[in-house]
Structure 1
Amino acid sequence: MRHVDEHSPHTYPVDEPADVKIGHHKDHAAGVPAVAVALKRGIEQMGTPRTARTFFHLNQRNGFDCPGCAWPETPGHRKHAEFCENGAKAVAEEATTRRVTPEFFAEHSLADLGGRSGYWLSQQGRLTHPMYLAPGEDHYRPVSWDEANAIIATELAQMTSPDEAVFYTSGRTSNEAA
């Protein structure tokens, strides 16, 4: 199934209806089951030692805040699992040990990547190199940081107005978790 945005000529893959499970709601959304699922996802993404170190610091006074919510910062002592399941899964995805290497992009064309869901793409891992898609090409290729910066500088220098440039940033674009 593909989603069509009325403002975009592109379509975006979404989960197939067969992949969606509908059932009775649970009577809880936290507690031991949520911690167990969070640990499972963390171990899948980061391994056991890194999961323990990372989750131990999540939403703690001398740790870091969850990238997916505004968990209240309570005064005094905090519990060891002071986070929700979705926050823990977001942290695990950010701190994953999985890596997307140039070989991945050699194997997957732009059309192939465009046909994948955002979830699938996010599960592949973090980039190891700057990647560039040259005009007319159908595969990204690795470039050095110097080449990446030169490409960006050339594009910015060709602009006739600062209004032609758009920059995106968020708390989830850092490389600190890598």
Structure 2
Amino acid sequence: MKKNLFYLFIALFAVTFMTACGDDDDDKEGDKTAETIAKEAGTYTQGKISIYVLGDAIGSWDELPETATFEVTQNLNVELTSAGTGNVDLTIKDLDLTDGSDPSADRMSLSVSGVPVTAVDGSLVINSTNKTWSVPIMNGFFADVNKIEGTIKDGQMNLQLSAFQNDLEQYVYIIVAVSK
């Protein structure tokens, strides 16, 4: 009986003290995200930005009417910078909210800080529908950005932003398809 207790003690010792801890997967994910942010950070100037301005709420991106679209293809300047662990700052400069025919028209800049991102298969994925940013856009006007989603991979940025311009009570949707 004493011999069986001795073997039981040895077995418990082996199981309890010989167990190794595995690698922490969360640290690896954080490293991948930081590495991908560093790779994709920079200024994106090639491509187009489509802007939809509507006075009434709509249900989804698929319901945007073509008649409310204007595409800005000149003076593109979209900047992506690191904002700490798992976050980026996104700035879209020199947006023209007119049809582009008036070169003296006021330009809008949209800067959103602390946008959460994750690295998935070499892409930065943005899906921030649970956060709202109140951002100045021009001449004292503010907008509440309440949705940013899309991907950034290999110098290609494809994003959709949704905002409500408070003073004019307009919904503004911006679709970004740009590259470095």
Shorter-chain TM-score above 0.5: no
Instruction: Give the alignment's TM-score, normalised by structure 1.
Output: 0.22
**Structure with max Cα Rg:** 2
Q: Given the two structures, how large is their TM-score scaled by the length of structure 2? A: 0.22
> Which structure shows the bigger proportion of residues in strand conformation?
2
* Greater share of residues in helix: 1
